[in-house]
Amino acid sequence: MHLTHLSLTDFRSYPRLDLVLEPGVTTFVGSNGQGKTNLIEAIGFVATLGSHRVATDAPLVREGTTQAVVRSRIVRGDRAALVEIQIVPGKANRVRLNRAPVPRARDVAGLLATVLFAPEDLALVKGDPAERRRFLDELLVARSPRMAAVQADYERVLKQRSALLRTAGAARRSGGRGDLRTLDVWDGHLADHGAELLAARLALVEELRPRVRSAYAAVAGEDSPTDVDYRSTVPYRAIPDRTAATGHTDSGIELAPGAPDVSSAPTDQAVGPAPSAGQAEGAEGSDETRPGGRPSRSDLRAELAEAILTGLAAVRSQEIERGVTLVGPHRDDLLLSVKGRPARGYASHGESWSLALALRLASYDLLRADDREPVLLLDDVFAELDVRRRARLAALVAPAEQVLVTAAVEADVPAELAGVRFEVSSGEVRRVG
């Protein structure tokens, strides 16, 4: 998969830009503030319908104008698609595919797969849990676009349920009791959508774990013990089946501190490893229990939904008092460790960068395994790395079908990534090599 054209109209600093791209490595060189990252952002927008830099679309529209347009031509094998996205702040984006209107913008999600490496990636290791949840959810959507709807449904239900909790809390504080019957209904909706999202995340973590270990060793140049696990507020138990020394269960799930204590509650079935991402997200196959006691995808989701309901019931009084939902995927975390210790707070700067890069490289490997060779976007990331990590990262990404690199200093880009070169200055992009 690669891009052959990128056209921008009133996007960020570009009144007008028409860019011809080629497979292989392309480097955009220019001083900071000249518009290099805007190019990467535009390409990422085509892939995800969102920006990695801002939460709303308004900053994407050039100051003094009312809308922006991003056009790109995507080639995959012998097929090509022309995608046009019209960005109008405050309104739904309008999308055309091969010049024909598309009813919903998300219908083009997944046509282009990208993996972005950026300075902000250090937050995947050192930042808040929200950064790691976002990483998992964006990768889920990249692999299966339908997961965007699952996530949207969960967020919608969560917002409504939390509003009801606040109303019930206000009623309690004023001496009333509040009507909790509606809350019971929303509990069921939250459990259903939350179970589907949680099952998909668990399956994804299982697939990421060996790839992150391998990528970390390749980037760091050492085979330090590295692990990836999932910590949840959902009181879901599984048979401990991994090496006892790791302290983890084979489901890849660990209870978060403060999760509801329901250890005395009966469980219908203890389960082993989570199913693959395809099984968790609705791939074709039997719903019968799999050999070795592994649950089918429908069984797993049913068990997770029941666990969410159990957890919600255990903390309802606290939730009403605080006005927030305390149990569910929205409060979970991806646990990263190096040399047996939590990476957040213990890993050195170099180890943290190696782990952040390993997460992105593992994403790249997963998408390739899905037969979705992604476009790699490296936005000024080499400036953050020492010489050895630069060389190792370059060697790992160079074989990709298309690699787009930005750099403020050309010497930061390793020789392994020699290729087409553009100079970016004052919103103009000029090919110089």
Determine if residue 67 is labeled as part of a ligand binding site: no
Determine if residue 36 is labeled as part of a ligand binding site: yes
Name the amino acid, one letter, at 392.
R
The answer to whether the beta carbons of residues 7 and 20 sit under 8 Å apart is no
| Beta carbons within 8 Å of 32's beta carbon, 6+ residues apart | 408
Give whole-number Cα distances, 22 to 44, 305, 399, 420, in Å.
Answer: 17, 47, 14, 8
The answer to whether the beta carbons of residues 186 and 229 sit under 8 Å apart is no
* Environment class of 70 (CB within 10 Å of its CB; exposed 0-12, middle 13-18, buried 19+): buried
Quote the CA–CA distance of 134 and 157 in Å, as a whole number: 18
Quote the CA–CA distance of 274 and 299 in Å, as a whole number: 11
Nearest to 156 by CA among 114, 127, 186: 186
Quote the CA–CA distance of 163 and 33 in Å, as a whole number: 41
**Strands of the 333-338 sheet, one edge to the other:** 253-255, 226-232, 333-338, 341-342
Determine if residue 33 is labeled as part of a ligand binding site: yes
Helix (H) or strand (E) holding 389: helix 387-397
Token look-up 């679309």 returns 57
Determine if residue 31 is labeled as part of a ligand binding site: yes
Determine if residue 51 is labeled as part of a ligand binding site: no
| Beta carbons within 8 Å of 379's beta carbon, 6+ residues apart | 36, 37, 40, 116, 117, 118, 119, 406
Determine if residue 32 is labeled as part of a ligand binding site: yes
Quote the CA–CA distance of 377 and 384 in Å, as a whole number: 15
Give the helix ranges, DSSP H, for 82-180.
123-126, 129-143, 147-173
Per-residue tokens: 57: 């679309």
Nearest to 331 by CA among 129, 193, 165, 140: 129
Phi, psi values for residue 19, rounded to 5°? -125, 130
227: helix, coil or strand?
A: strand
Q: Write out the binding residues.
A: 30-37
Q: Write out the binding residues for ATP.
A: 30-37
